[in-house]
Amino acid sequence: MIPMNTIYNEMGIRETVLSFGKNIEKNLKDRFEKIDEIAEYNQLKVIKAMQDNRVSVGCFNYASGYGYDDQGRDTLEKVYASIFHTESALVRPQITCGTHALSLALAANLRPGDELLAPAGKPYDTLEEVIGIRPSNGSLAEYGISYSQVDLLADGTFDYENIKKAINDKTKMVAIQRSKGYQTRPSFSVKQIGELITFVKGIKPDLVCMVDNCYGEFVETIEPSDVGADMTVGSLIKNPGGGLAPIGGYIAGREDLIDACGYRLTSPGLGREVGASLGVMKDFYQGLFLAPTVSASALKGAIFAANIYEKLGFPVIPNGTESRHDIIQAVEFGIPEGVIEFCKGIQAAAPVDSYVTPEPWPMPGYDSDVIMAAGAFVQGSSIELSADGPIKPPYAVYFQGGLTWPHAKLGILMSLEYLVRAGIVTL
């Protein structure tokens, strides 16, 4: 057998980088064991939901046309409702991504004259055009739906005083983003989200609380729907797709709200009755089955990266020891070259397109050039190993994913290797 170090060396990682990583890893054993315990709990939760809803081989059959009586689709939505402990769920390949799922949930349940409140500050970049913060064709603003925002306090917590002031007669929906997005704030725990939901509903009980759950599924043993969220929304090319779902998004929540989403997705009068699954159901089910352990691998990678770059003196969010509520790890380099070299290393460690060099480019939906490293089997799959970031201050890179822990580890070591080669880091 070829020694492990030799294989790493043949892949371009020098001994000093490898030794540095090993010293970090050996101190994370207890942390990784706790992550495995959460994965085991969530794995059992997923299996039980599949068993309780009588998932069968027939659920994998190809359905086309209108999709009436698509057994696999209808059963999968029951499985999601069971996992998230909600009345209903919409899980479809016709939902293209997380932004689409969020846009769908908003547009389906807001009407002209309503106001949307963001109590956690500015939402993710791609939602700015959906809402109309940045003018865009078809935005909520064009339909007479107003928007209000309350920024977080300096310590990254909710500004309850000003949230209370912001809620008015027009406020119909509260949108809470769990993950940090391209920001350097903390991600929120499910417990924190629950406290915020309780607070706003105490002021106005009929408020609809929607949580953007992207990157957070299966990181904890509970989800936002367990603490009062009326709709929990996410993407299948992130955590719950397990790296196998080729497309898709989900919305889990109250029956009336999900029905409205169905009518918005297809057509009034048709709703969830149509929309054939087109042969992707096996991948949806299998990806969901793998999702708890895949998310655990990604989480280990995030913690490993945090501890490496914190040790080297870079600001990291979250830091190396604090609790985790999503799979994203931010590292601030302060210079664009740091972001670029980090992404080059992640790309070089990929099984797909490893020979490609990522470069910043003006990506649709963003207000600056963005660099993205993603050697993924499913293009755009953020649960696969990837790194990206806008080329603007504070020049932070956002790392996420890893279908397996060994690949996540390789990617992080390769990112360090490229930073060393560029002279940005000295070991």
Together in a domain, 121 and 183: yes
The predicted model gives 296-305 an average pLDDT of 98
Write the pLDDT tens digit of every residue in 377-404: 998 899 999 999 999 999 999 999 999 9
**Number of other CB atoms surrounding residue 162 within 10 Å:** 12
Is the pLDDT at 182 greater than 80? The verdict is no
Q: Which residues of 369-402 are buried (b: 16+ CB within 10 A; e: fewer)?
A: ebbbbbbbebebbbbbbbbbbbeeeebbbbbbbb
User: Strand, helix or coil at 91?
Assistant: strand
Rounded to 5°, the CA angle 327-329-331 comes to: 175
Please state which of the ranges 85-89, 178-182, 226-230, 318-322 shows the lowest mean pLDDT. Answer: 178-182
Does residue 342 lie within any of the structural domains?
A: yes
Q: Which residue has the tokens 């935005």?
A: 139
Per-residue pLDDT at 371: 95
Write the pLDDT tens digit of every residue in 124-144: 888 999 999 999 999 999 999
Per-residue pLDDT at 87: 98
Q: Which residues form the domain of 12? A: 4-42+292-421
Together in a domain, 100 and 16: no
CB neighbour list of residue 172: distance below 8 Å, 6 or more residues apart:
109, 110, 111, 114, 115, 116, 207, 208
Please state which of the ranges 24-28, 302-306, 362-366 shows the lowest mean pLDDT. Answer: 362-366
Per-residue pLDDT at 125: 84
Per-residue pLDDT at 146: 98
Residue 50 CA to residue 81 CA, distance in Å, equals 11
E strands, 166-235, are: 171-177, 208-212, 231-235
The predicted model gives 359-386 an average pLDDT of 89
Together in a domain, 241 and 296: no
Does residue 426 lie within any of the structural domains?
A: no
Together in a domain, 399 and 371: yes
CB of 89 closer than 8 Å to CB of 80? yes
Together in a domain, 104 and 188: yes
Is the pLDDT at 184 greater than 80? The verdict is no
Per-residue pLDDT at 118: 98
Write the pLDDT tens digit of every residue in 70-115: 999 999 999 999 999 999 999 999 999 999 999 999 999 999 999 9
Together in a domain, 282 and 334: no
Together in a domain, 22 and 141: no
CB of 328 closer than 8 Å to CB of 124? no
Boundary (domain end) residue, out of 263, 288, 313:
288
Together in a domain, 49 and 65: yes
CATH number, domain containing residue 144: 3.40.640.10
Together in a domain, 94 and 219: yes
Is the pLDDT at 370 greater than 80? The verdict is yes
Boundary (domain end) residue, out of 247, 273, 288:
288
Write the pLDDT tens digit of every residue in 207-230: 999 999 999 999 999 999 999 999
Together in a domain, 155 and 253: yes
The predicted model gives 222-247 an average pLDDT of 98
Per-residue pLDDT at 366: 73
Residues in the chain: 427
Write the pLDDT tens digit of every residue in 37-73: 999 999 999 999 999 999 999 999 999 999 998 999 9
User: Strand, helix or coil at 317?
Assistant: strand
Does residue 427 lie within any of the structural domains?
A: no
Together in a domain, 184 and 324: no
